[in-house]
Structure 1
Amino acid sequence: MHLWSFLGGISAIGGVTLAHVSPSEMDNFNIASALEHLGVEVWKIPALQSFSGVQSRSTENACSAACASLNFVFGSKVSAQDTAGYSNFTGSFWSVQQEEVQPHCVFRPTVNTEVSIAVLLSRFTGCEFAARSGGHAAFTGASSSPGGISIWFKDMNEVTLNEDKSVASIGPGNSWVSVYSALEPYGLAAVGGRAASIGVGGFVLGGGISYHSNLYGWACDNVESFEVVTASGLIITASESSYPDLYWALRGGGNNFGLVTKYNLYTIPCPEMYGGARTFLQTEFKEVINAFINVINNASVDGHAQQYVAFLQVNGTNLASAELTYTLNVANPEIFKQYRSIPAVSDTSSSKTLVQYVEYLETDNPFGLREVYWPITVHMDEDFLNWVVKTFYSMIPQVAHVSGAMPVIIYQGITEPILKKMTNYGGNALGLKASTGPIILMHVSCWWTNESDDNTVYEFINSFWDKVIAQAKSLGVDNDYIYMNYASMFQDPVAGYGDANKALLKKIAKNYDPAAVYQTLQPGYFKLNGAPVTDSF
């Protein structure tokens, strides 16, 4: 007896979601039989006729066989190297580090069962795979598989509403601008990303900071359910009442439990908004940081306000750029009046629809450069926040000679309203509690031009954070949480969720994926056992 015996004649063929079957994989689970239930007869595929079972993952021809098999079954949905479809994939990443990855083939599924087949063929051959939603991570292999199968969700891009329009069902191939564009005619949105090209998938699974988060929480706290392809090829729906452990794990646990083929998100009203960047000279930094803290402290009074402050250097001038967003079309709300009273050198604030807002912010995230994000969190302390900014500017000369380098440190608040929303629908996996009070998420973002400067940039950021963390610990304001969606390849976000949550995530992963497919055959991005890269500087 194997897993598929549980189906009792019901199959997942044709896109039927199996929401109430056992997800546990039996010891004698048979991959070939699972593929047969999906209409794929392994022994009729020429590339697999020499395979007698699961091969060693080091077998040289594993990915050749896997890609040839996908091509045999799906034809034009598979792109080999040196084809237009392949180049379209590799050439459309945000960061050059991802663009440089050369998978053996690219597969563009259109329905969930095709994703099941790809996962099972990966298991059968031992070929590694990766899955891409928007592809906005900034390091090698995060959503493209070197030498393996890269599953590109681009064609799974439907956005539909349920009958009462309370839930939007969103395919993983969507960017947030496509989601907002589909929902805007109904006066609706979802709690989602703040830049146009950010993909739905990784954003939701890692947390998801939104313009609307002080009102509703992060994206992961606004998911009605996930449609998930398990390691066994089963398609199940995880919600608060159906597979609630998996539902909890997917809310912050990343890509460690399955491939999500549909995100069912609660909708929110979305009137016209007001906002933009107000930019200040260094003489105003202390007042800007004080305003930043006061907005955080007043988040419970007015949840329509969202902010972040970026500190950067442009042509030798130190600047603070405060992105001040109000989710109603109000030009000067009380909560932002302190910011408005500080003399500014520029202000781009205006009325915007949500679609216009994310398109406007897209210019802050240029494509075609080498990129890194690298965050930490700390407890709120005004003197410390001022000290961090001064330390950052004192260390910028370390990368002054790096071609194209643009280091920025950005402050955001994880406010008390946001923390309270993290208990919604059974809670999430992030390990953050409202009792800790607001915490500050600070991250360094940097882009540059040449691969030869990679280590220089990484060493600069690492040495900066070493100083900051040491100072935070000496003041008692350090915090272990690392926001997955900004994490660098040298960080372990899951460890920052706390020992108990990490242990529970591992237990849930083992239950749904006892063969550790999503830990080993899908090795990219943030796994449950540690950072993607363990080099130290």
Structure 2
Amino acid sequence: MPLYEDWTAEPVNEKMQEICNNLASESQLTKTEIWLPGSKAYIASRVRYFKQTALRPACVAVPTQPHGLQRLIQLIGKERIPFGVSSGQHHSNIGFSSTAGGLQIDMRQFKDLKLSKDKSYVDVGPGLTWYEVYRMLEGTGVQVVGGRTQSVGVGGFLAGGGGMGWSTNVHGMTVNTALEAELVTPQGEIKTVSYSNDPDLFWALRGGGNKFGIVFRWRLQTHEQAKIVYGGMRIYPQSRKKVINQAMVNFLSNNTDPGAQLIISYGVAYKLIGIICLQVYYPHQDPGSIFSEFDVERVGKAWSDSWGPTTFADSVGTSYTEMHANQRSLMDEQNFQNFHSVALLNAAADLSYEYGRKWFIKGRFMPLSQSICSIAIEPFQQGWGAQFKETQGVYPYHNSPMPIILLFYWKNARDDEYFTQTARFMIDRLRQIAIEEGQDLSNFPAYPNYAQADRTPEGLFGKENWERLRGLQKRYDPENVMGLTKYFS
């Protein structure tokens, strides 16, 4: 789908203007702030991580309490109002968390975090980012499975795919740790659901997208967490590609400690052509010799090196992609069986370097200091998904997928289709290499939080889960209220 600028300029019709004005007049009663076009708050609210998703709503509603959210959903259903719901404003697909000409519901005020007395679970609001959650839990001795990028919001992370984190090897995805959810249903009812009282709806909420209501509280199981862990970021020159990739393959082949995680990203960024290694050892601050494959004697000296003792929150805060918020950008992914092939990793690196150079040599896009062409390798331990079958959400990960993520940034809307097609070519090329090496990729659905909008629901959730999800949509939302916002279709 093209990401054209005119998506942001859809005119607001008279009916929506009247609805927004009426909502503003009752804002004190409903405890819901209403931001109208032209106000500073409205303008500021349209700044998003992915610039092309910054559509122009008729107004922005910011509920502060559940009954205000309830009023909004009841009104949406009655008047058939197109709408969007956002928490961290981090989704890459147009309309999935925003709306053009409709009602934007902004969940930023649902930021409560309450840890149980025995510290076995924590209640979190969807308006929190994962960095805020980690910070608020520091010093308690516990943490949760959450996002690996600091500005990702709780709400979309859980509903949109289920959530992969630094501790997924041990504790699964975030949806595996969810104990209950409190939401406003499409009928405008406030309801608490869990495995015991409504297992079907609870399953659908955990990764099934924005089609079953709006969750305003998640209860998540906690796990023990040391105050200081080991983590950080290293940046290597492109010339170290082969030794870094061999080190990565050796690490993945030999490491048996599930607490040790590495992400390698190849790309052209900040006038540099290089390799970024993000690393976290989350059990404590002494990984011993686990990462010895990356010792300077083996891979050479990094341009920049922040690996060392740190807090868990700060280890998440090292992601270089945060510097490019509010740019035109694209994210897509492909899952693999494993990354035990140096040839596959070399191919990923070469694709990022080749196309990154092409963009800049042409001079058609951003200056070097404002551009990124990145391909990231996100491995987990072999077989990680098999141990969490009993608590699996909608996204089927029982075959333990390993994602490669493409992330591009650019300036001009006229180049949107070029980047979309480039992403598809890269994914097809990497798939071809893996298949030629013997990988069976026939049953590896794309992860919804990373996938482009043109992916089919069956290609995301699998045929069986998609059929179940469709049936549950008809049961829990017979009037298709949630169909007034966008998702994969």
Same-fold call, TM > 0.5? yes
Matches of residues 26-41 of structure 1 in structure 2 within 5 Å?
none
Residue 475 of structure 1: CA displacement? 4.5
Residue 306 of structure 1: CA displacement? 1.3
Hey, what does 1:416 align to over in structure 2?
382
Matches of residues 334-413 of structure 1 in structure 2 within 5 Å?
334-340=289-295, 341-345=298-302, 346-361=304-319, 364-380=322-338, 381-382=340-341, 383-400=343-360, 401=363, 402-403=365-366, 404-413=370-379
Structure 1 spans left out of the alignment, 5+ residues: 1-57, 531-537
CA change 1:275–1:136 in 2 (3 A) is same
Is it true that 1:496 corresponds to 2:450 in the alignment? no
Matching residue's letter, 1:369: Q
What secondary structure is seen at the aligned counterpart in 2 of 1:138?
coil
Residue 424 of structure 1: CA displacement? 4.0
Give the Cα separation in 2 of the matches to 1:348 and 1:309: 15
Matching residue's letter, 2:79: T
Give the Cα separation in 2 of the matches to 1:516 and 1:414: 38
| CA deviation profile, 1:324-376 (whole Å, cap 9, x unmatched) | 11114435533211122321323211211122223333664432311111111
| CA deviation profile, 1:400-429 (whole Å, cap 9, x unmatched) | 23224310000011433631343243x222
Match of 2:43 among 70, 87, 97: 87
Matching residue's letter, 1:82: G
Matches of residues 423-462 of structure 1 in structure 2 within 5 Å?
423-425=389-391, 427-433=392-398, 436=399, 438-462=400-424
Hey, what does 2:7 align to over in structure 1?
none
RMSD: 2.4
Matching residue's letter, 1:67: C
Is it true that 1:242 corresponds to 2:197 in the alignment? yes
Hey, what does 1:280 align to over in structure 2?
236
Larger of the two Rg values belongs to structure: 1
Matching residue's letter, 1:306: Q
What secondary structure is seen at the aligned counterpart in 2 of 1:485?
coil
Matching residue's letter, 2:453: M
Q: Return 204-213 or 387-396, whichever deviates more.
A: 387-396
What secondary structure is seen at the aligned counterpart in 2 of 1:106?
strand
Q: TM-score, normalised by structure 1?
A: 0.80
Residue 124 of structure 1: CA displacement? 1.1
Residue 386 of structure 1: CA displacement? 2.7
CA change 1:123–1:490 in 2 (3 A) is same
What secondary structure is seen at the aligned counterpart in 2 of 1:360?
coil
Hey, what does 1:522 align to over in structure 2?
485
CA change 1:362–1:186 in 2 (3 A) is farther
Give the Cα separation in 2 of the matches to 1:335 and 1:397: 35
Hey, what does 2:25 align to over in structure 1?
72
Residue 125 of structure 1: CA displacement? 1.1
What secondary structure is seen at the aligned counterpart in 2 of 1:238?
strand
Residue 223 of structure 1: CA displacement? 0.7
Contact 1:79–1:86 under 8 Å retained in 2 = yes
Q: Return 124-133 or 336-345, whichever deviates more.
A: 336-345
Give the Cα separation in 2 of the matches to 1:250 and 1:513: 13
Hey, what does 2:261 align to over in structure 1?
306
Percent identity over the alignment? 26
Residue 127 of structure 1: CA displacement? 1.1
Give the Cα separation in 2 of the matches to 1:250 and 1:286: 43
What secondary structure is seen at the aligned counterpart in 2 of 1:416?
coil
Structure 2 spans left out of the alignment, 5+ residues: 1-10
Contact 2:12–2:101 under 8 Å retained in 1 = no
What secondary structure is seen at the aligned counterpart in 1 of 2:188?
coil
Give the Cα separation in 2 of the matches to 1:291 and 1:493: 36
What secondary structure is seen at the aligned counterpart in 1 of 2:123?
strand
CA change 1:233–1:294 in 2 (3 A) is farther
Q: Return 213-222 or 146-155, whichever deviates more.
A: 213-222
